[in-house]
Amino acid sequence: MVALSSLQSLTSLILMNSYSSSSSSSPSPSTSSPKAFLTRRKSIFFASSVLGSFLHFYTDPAPSFQFARAEEDEFEQEEEHVVQLFQETSPSVVFIKDLELVKNPKGTNEIMSTEDGSAKVEGTGSGFIWDKTGHIVTNYHVVAKLATDTSGLQRCEVVLVDANGSNFTKEGKIIGFDPAYDLAVLKVDMEGNELIPAILGTSNDLHVGQSCFAIGNPYGYENTLTTGVVSGLGREIPSPNGKAIRGAIQTDAAINSGNSGGPLIDSYGHVIGVNTATFTRKGTGISSGVNFAIPIDTVVKIVPYLVVYGTPYTDRY
């Protein structure tokens, strides 16, 4: 408003000067009229140009600023949502170590930790808490050595987080597995600890393009979050026993060695699949971005039989 008032005053001043100049320099109205008219018209044109330039310079930037601010607020809300999603879901994810006992002269096979050198880590994987009684769901191929062990030297160490946020380690006992669907269930002793089970979602209403998140322990790095979208549905992938797992979820959320058995979750923190496989670039071992998860609807059908009977549904009927 101040700038506009100043410009109005400037315009009036220019016009007054033009009138004054034309009046004082012309001896008679008859001879000076054309020149005075041209001078006034030039003055008006000049004043209009100046006014237009200043108005353009002082254009209110509020609309563009508000638009940029709205975009920034939306991005911050999105970011905060992902942070909260991880904080609420990660306590339900576990770190699994596949161990082999090292024989010693005393012939004991007890194991509580790998720190004393009584066992060597042969592989790592992920899993998630199925219920408060200590059942853990993971991939069969993560614990395949334990499931087929005949030497008595294989062990499984599970790192968990309790309801108070404290880390602790327990030995995982395998109670059931189904190689056809690459699923297995471990059981840990929960005496003195309270667990936070994962919240299960559904996979029959997924859509290509919706956001998804993978939480696991790639290459042994605990509590790693990767983000992406559902890239495809109804895929077919090979199982450890050579058969096909149908209906798999394809995602571009990075899944690498150690992510296997961990949960694929949606934007609400609900488990929609069990991360199980990735295509790697030949000779590099690097994920190609084509990753797969066993749909949770399939998992829900298989796991209860493994918990109760220790064998797959197909083995009983």
**Catalytic site residue from 203, 260, 266, 287:** 260
Instruction: Yes or no: say if 67 and 93 are a contact pair by the CB < 8 Å rule.
Output: no
| Catalytic residue list contains 131 | no
Kindly state the helix (H) or strand (E) to which residue 145 belongs, with its residue range. Answer: helix 144-147
Supply the Cα-derived Rg of the chain in whole angstroms.
Answer: 36
Work out the number of other CB atoms within 10 angstroms of the CB of residue 8.
12
Residue environment code for 149-167, b if the CB has 16+ CB neighbours within 10 A, otherwise e: eeeeebbbbbbbbeeeeee
| Catalytic residue list contains 81 | no
**With the CA atoms of 302, 308, 312 and 317 taken in that order, what torsion angle do they form, in degrees rounded to the nearest 10?**
-110
**Catalytic site residue from 141, 178, 231, 287:** 141
**Catalytic site residue from 98, 178, 182, 266:** 182
| Catalytic residue list contains 270 | no
Question: What tokens were used for 70?
Answer: 């709205």
Work out the number of other CB atoms within 10 angstroms of the CB of residue 313.
16
Catalytic residues: 141, 182, 260
